[in-house]
A and B are shown apart, each in its own frame.
Chain A
Amino acid sequence: MPLFNVNDNYQNPTAEGYYGDYGGAYIPEMLYSNVETLKTQYLQIMYDPIFQAEFQYLLKDYVGRPTPLFLAERLSKEIGATIYLKREDLCHTGAHKINNTVGQIILAQRLGKKKIIAETGAGQHGVATATVCALKGMECVIYMGEKDIERQAPNVARMKMLGATVIPAKSGSKTLKDATNEAIRAWINEPNETHYIIGSVVGPHPYPDMVARFQSVISEEIRKQLKEKTGSELPTHVVACVGGGSNAAGAFYHFLNEPTVQIVAVEAAGHGVHSGLSAATTQLGSPGILHGSKSIVMQTSDGQVVEPHSISAGLDYPGIGPLHAFLYESKRGIFLSATDEEALESAFHLSKIEGIIPALETAHAFSVLPKMNLKASDVVVVCLSGRGDKDLATYMEHL
């Protein structure tokens, strides 16, 4: 008996980029040419055999894929179910973000672009972008919220060492939302030579679909690895943290049309969902338009976007990708949340019982496991999206 109604639209948005009512390309005319070029060419370029050969080669020999699927035995025993960890933290640069940047840098070369811009929250996407720009000899400018520059100092240093220019976003809440605004404005001001590598499944169509496809390697590997380990390609649950939602989109992608697989997205509740200091978008948001697409947005009754809060810079975002908004609305996915405190606790706990220090973002995904009422027969895959080196300063305050 299938648990859910599946819908091909989850993997294939409409020609105009809609997943149900969410998506589209709400962009000013100044971005039309660039976005239209991407829209008409991305699928053709991405699935061209020569592109794929280079993409697969770089994923293997540069990124270090496939990443392991690790059976977390002590955690499994404690939770009372079989828990596998998809080790995206072992990717080059320490998180899943590089799957997308490797893909987009090859695409940018194909489009004849000379310069790359990107936004970053925790700095993982910024580092992953600066890395592939160094690899390909492209100029790289990263926009990062002033507040995030302070709390993610090691990643700022890494970006600079990789040759990127880091520009602080000083408007609004000085975090990911504002870094994204600044990156889009920079793109408007020099559209012809520049490609904008968006780091999550957000932004105008075709970005959400393109990024989801580049990240879908995560679930493609999970299926194969799970088959080898358990005899079945399908887990009972896939769990991932969601800010914009790129690691989640990648981990969910090849399970979206598998009705027996429960999809679990974990948002950042900050000080508590209703504390006024939260980033739990589906719980607090309503339909709106942010950064070029229609989705669920945290906003005032007047339609002004509110400033979110999360201890993790990567989840500190008042929106969510349109695919996730559709997963939420259609009830294909379950959306849970974890507070700052719960995430910290999980980070320390995972470190002690499995010897893996996760990123603060990733730690949110682990916080919900005890609340899921899992059975002994359940096979759960948690996307371990990034490692915790960048969060050491925060962790040290709580040692």
Chain B
Amino acid sequence: MSKLELVFKEKSKRILNVYCTAGYPSLDSTMKVMASLQKNGADIIELGMPYSDPLADGEVIQVSSMKALANGMNIAVLFEQIKDMRKSITIPVILMGYMNPILQYGFEAFCKKAKEVGIDGLILPDLPLFEFEDSYGKIITENNLDFIFLVTPETPDQRVKKLDSLSNGFLYAVSSSATTGKDKDFNVVAQYLQKLQAMHLKNPILVGFGIKDKATFDAATMHTRGAIIGSAYIQQLTKGGDIETTTSEFLNNVLGA
């Protein structure tokens, strides 16, 4: 059983996945941010690899990516920073990023190295289904990494089933067709999530985009196993201050602890 599967086996609801940008706010803060997230109640960490042209991300994450790149972050540096992460981080860690930097690193070398340092899964928003089935999926599977596809309210049901069948760990439901960091009408979202719930998919659903506090986290997790927070957390880190204090205040607020 993979680490991700184990999380969903041990905890039935309100599973919290928090996104952070590698190398942000400072180059060496990656491990510190991850440790703080684990300590303050995150169940899964989604570690973003910064890219110059992040099409699926809104302004907050774009700006953090630019800063991280300016700080000197890249895939090789990241692997070096997290090579010993399994000595302290016990919760699942997923890498999120865009195809181009990974292709330049070498797709197979990337998957091997990710597994070696203890990464559990990948979210690559611009790796489409056709390319996944045609070539890349095999490499991901051979390296025992979970791959998580995104689904949106516009994704046809048949395609949702297909993407679910190819995903492992969980399925990432985007709460509406929008880049990260946009506010959402949660009634519309709720209807969509109920529909997904009724489809009895293979994977549990985590919902992302638009979640920023306890109210939105509660609403989002009413019909799903959990939620993903990104922009709202990065925004807090952007304000500066001590990472541990910022993270603990933010997560306590979201979880209502």
Contact = CB atoms under 8 A, between A and B. Distances in A.
Interface of A: 16, 24-30, 32-33, 171-172, 177, 181, 184-185, 188-192, 286-292, 297, 299, 301-305
Interface stretch (B82-90, B144-152, B191-199): B144-152
A172 B52 contact: yes
A304 B154 contact: no
Contacts of A188: 55-56, 177-179
Given A302-B104, A304-B51, A185 B151 contact: no
A190 B74 CA distance: 32
A29 B151 contact: yes
Interface string B50-68: 0111011010001000100
Contacts, number: 113
Given A304-B52, A304-B101, A30 B58 contact: no
Contacts of A301: 104
A185 B104 contact: no
Q: Which of A185, A292, A301 has the most CB of B within 10 A?
A: A185
B104 A303 contact: yes
A177 B51 CA distance: 14
B92 to A, nearest CB: 22
B100 A189 contact: no
30 contacts: A25-B128, A25-B130, A26-B126, A26-B127, A26-B128, A28-B56, A28-B125, A29-B125, A29-B152, A29-B163, A30-B174, A30-B177, A30-B179, A32-B155, A32-B159, A181-B53, A185-B58, A185-B179, A188-B179, A189-B178, A189-B179, A189-B182, A286-B104, A289-B98, A292-B55, A302-B105, A303-B105, A304-B51, A304-B74, A305-B53
Given A171-B62, A288-B104, 8 more contacts: A25-B130, A27-B126, A185-B58, A191-B177, A287-B103, A289-B99, A290-B100, A305-B52
Q: Which of B52, B69, B152, B156 has the most CB of A within 10 A?
A: B52
A188 B155 CA distance: 13
Q: Which of B55, B104, B156 has the most CB of A within 10 A?
A: B55
A26 B131 CA distance: 8
Contacts of B69: 304
Contacts of B201: none
B126 A289 contact: yes
Interface in B160-195: 163, 174, 177-179, 182
Interface of B: 51-53, 55-56, 58, 62, 66, 69, 74-76, 98-105, 125-128, 130-131, 149-152, 154-156, 159, 163, 174, 177-179, 182
Contacts of B179: 30, 185, 188-189
B151 to A, nearest CB: 6
A25 B55 CA distance: 13
Given A191-B177, A288-B104, A302-B104, A185 B155 contact: no
A371 B159 CA distance: 54
A29 B150 contact: yes
Contacts of A24: 128, 130-131
Q: Which of B99, B152, B174 has the most CB of A within 10 A?
A: B152
Q: Which of B100, B149, B151, B152 has the most CB of A within 10 A?
A: B100
A302 B55 contact: no
Nearest to A15: B130
Given A303-B101, A303-B104, A305-B100, A185 B55 contact: yes
Contacts of B104: 286, 288, 299, 301-303
A337 B178 CA distance: 39
Contacts of B126: 26-28, 289, 292
A304 B177 CA distance: 26
A32 B100 CA distance: 19
Q: Which of A28, A190, A286, A292 has the most CB of B within 10 A?
A: A28
Contact of A290 (B53, B58, B155): B53
A117 to B, nearest CB: 14
Contacts of B174: 29-30
Contact of B100 (A177, A184, A299): A299
Nearest to B178: A189
A30 B152 contact: yes
Q: Which of A30, A184, A185, A188 has the most CB of B within 10 A?
A: A30
Nearest to B97: A303
Contacts of A181: 53, 55
Given A29-B149, A29-B155, A189 B55 contact: no
